[in-house]
Amino acid sequence: MKSPLLSLPGAVPAEGRDEGVAAHYGDLFREQRALADGSGLVDLSHRGVVTVTGDDRLTWLHLLLTQHVSDLEPGRATEALILSANGHIEHALYLVDDGATVWMHVEPGTRDELIAYLESMKFFYRVEVADRTADFAVVHLPAGSIAPVPDGVTVRETAHGRDLFLPRAGLEAYAAANGPAAGILAYEALRVEAHRPRLGFETDHRTIPHELGWIGTAVHLQKGCYRGQETVARVHNLGKPPRRLVFLHLDGSEVHLPGPGTPLRLAADGEEGRRLGFVTTSARHHELGPIALALVKRNVPVDAELIAGDTAAAQETVVEP
C-alpha cells in the first residue's frame, strides 16, 4: 500500500521490506536529529494493522503469545512473539488494548500469515480477528513529542515514543499539521542505536528470542502454555543460545555500508578468516557515524576486533555470551 506522503517534496521511496513509504525526504541526518529532539513524525503506514475484539480476547491471546497479556491494562503497551513448535520466532506483535479492542501492528508482509494462524486457533473462544490495514495507518511520534493525538485515536506509548493507529484518510492532514516527516532510514538508524531487534532483519528461520535480547521485553518467563515455551524454558534454565546480538561501530572512512548478510570475521584473520557471524542491519547515524547490528556466535570474545566484509568493526555487547 503506497503512502500518500510519498508525494511530499524530496520524498525518495524506500525499497525492499519497507517499500511503500519514504526512505528519506532529502536530508537523512536532519531527519534523524529532528526525531532525536522529539519533533516530527515517521510514516509507518506500510505496516499491517490487526485487531482482536471479544470478551475472551486477552485470555485467548495469553495462550498464544510469549507475553503475559491476560491482565493487560487498557492503554499499557507491550510487545510479544509467536513462536514455532521448536521455539523459533515467526511473528513479532506490538500491542495495546483500549479496553474493548486489542490493536497490534506487525511487519510488512506478515499480516496475512498472522491472521490465518490466529483464525485457526479461535476454537470456541469469543474473539473476532480483523485486518484493519486498509482503514488505519501507523504513525510514529518520537519520545518527547508534543504533537496532539486526535480524539478517538488509539495510542501505543513506550519509552521510544508513541505509535498512533490513525485513520488512513487523515494521514496527509495529520502529517501536514505535525511534521516534518522523517523517513524510514532515520527511524531505522535510531532503532539500531537503541539495540532494538526487528523481525526479518535480525531474525532468520532459526532465531530464538534469547539471541536478540527479547527475553523480558517480549517474552515473559513466568508464564507457560504457548507454542515453543519448552524451548524458551530449556535454553533459559539449562543452556545458552548459539548466537548473540551485538552492536557494531563501523570504520567511518569507508564509503559503503556493509549490507545485511555481510560476513563477520576476526580482523586478525582478514577476509579469508572463519565466518563468525553476519551483519543484520547497518545505518548511518547523525552522531555515531556508520553503525550496525549483527549476530555472532556465542563464543566470539566480547573484545574481539572484527571486520564486516572489508570494513573494520568494533563490537559492543547487547546480549551477554
Rounded to whole angstroms, the Cα distance separating 189 from 34 reads 13
Q: Are the C-beta atoms of residues 150 and 170 closer than 8 Å to each other?
A: yes
Cβ atoms 184, 12 nearer than 8 A: no
By C-alpha distance, which of 127, 107, 109 is closest to 118?
Answer: 127
Number of C-beta neighbours around residue 138 at 10 A: 24
The long-range contacts involving 212-220, CB below 8 angstroms and separated by at least 24 positions, are 212/245, 212/319, 213/245, 213/318, 213/319, 214/81, 214/89, 217/79, 218/66, 218/67, 218/79, 218/80, 218/81, 218/92, 219/66, 219/67, 219/81, 220/66, 220/67, 220/68
Does 172 show up as a binding residue in the annotation?
yes
For residue 204 the three cell numbers come to 532468520
C-alpha cell at 285: 547515524
Give the length of the chain.
321
Rounded to whole angstroms, the Cα distance separating 74 from 142 reads 21
Q: 3-class SS at 52?
A: strand
| Binding site listing for substrate | 172
| Binding site listing | 172
